[in-house]
């Protein structure tokens, strides 16, 4: 079993930066991957970014490409989301998710909520104008 804990959210102004962290415990991800999703008030949960844990391949939603960077630290079993040039539209609860031992974790699978077996509790990011 895998447990995920997000941290790093907060209240910032437009143009500021934040770095979210997601610590994984229980097991190593092996051939699987991890991703970030977010849900804003009144909207459905949407894909933000994902990473293949073993290969390090990264994938981004068009809305955050060029501003956000996903990364991993295998030794610390931690995933990060560096968020720069934040906008009010980025305001949401951000969730990390894990797909354990996937054999085909790619851009298509990484963006699919149903692909992930484990989810964190979320961390709030609020960006004021």
Taking only the tens of pLDDT, the chain with its 129 residues reads: 789 999 999 999 999 999 999 999 987 666 689 999 999 999 999 999 999 988 899 999 999 999 999 999 988 989 999 999 999 999 999 999 999 877 788 889 999 999 999 999 999 999 999
| Predicted local distance difference test score (pLDDT) of residue 64 | 98
| Predicted local distance difference test score (pLDDT) of residue 72 | 92
Please give the distance of CA 75 from its chain centroid, rounded to a whole number.
18
Q: CB neighbours of 30 closer than 8 A, spacing ≥ 6?
A: 53, 54, 100, 101
Q: How many CB atoms lie within 10 A of CB 1?
A: 8
């Amino acid at each position: 079993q895998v447990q995920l804990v997000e941290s790093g959210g907060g209240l910032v102004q437009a143009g500021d930066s934040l770095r979210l962290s997601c610590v994984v415990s229980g097991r190593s991800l092996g051939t699987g991957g991890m991703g970030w999703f977010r849900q804003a008030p009144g909207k459905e949960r949407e894909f933000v970014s994902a990473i293949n844990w073993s290969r390090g391949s990264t994938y981004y939603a068009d809305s955050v490409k060029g501003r956000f960077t996903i990364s991993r630290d295998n030794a610390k079993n931690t995933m990060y989301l560096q968020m720069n040039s934040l906008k009010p539209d980025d305001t949401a609860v951000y969730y990390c998710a894990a797909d354990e031992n996937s054999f085909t974790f790619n851009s298509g699978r990484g963006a699919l909520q149903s692909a992930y077996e484990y989810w964190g509790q979320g961390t709030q990011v609020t960006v004021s104008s």
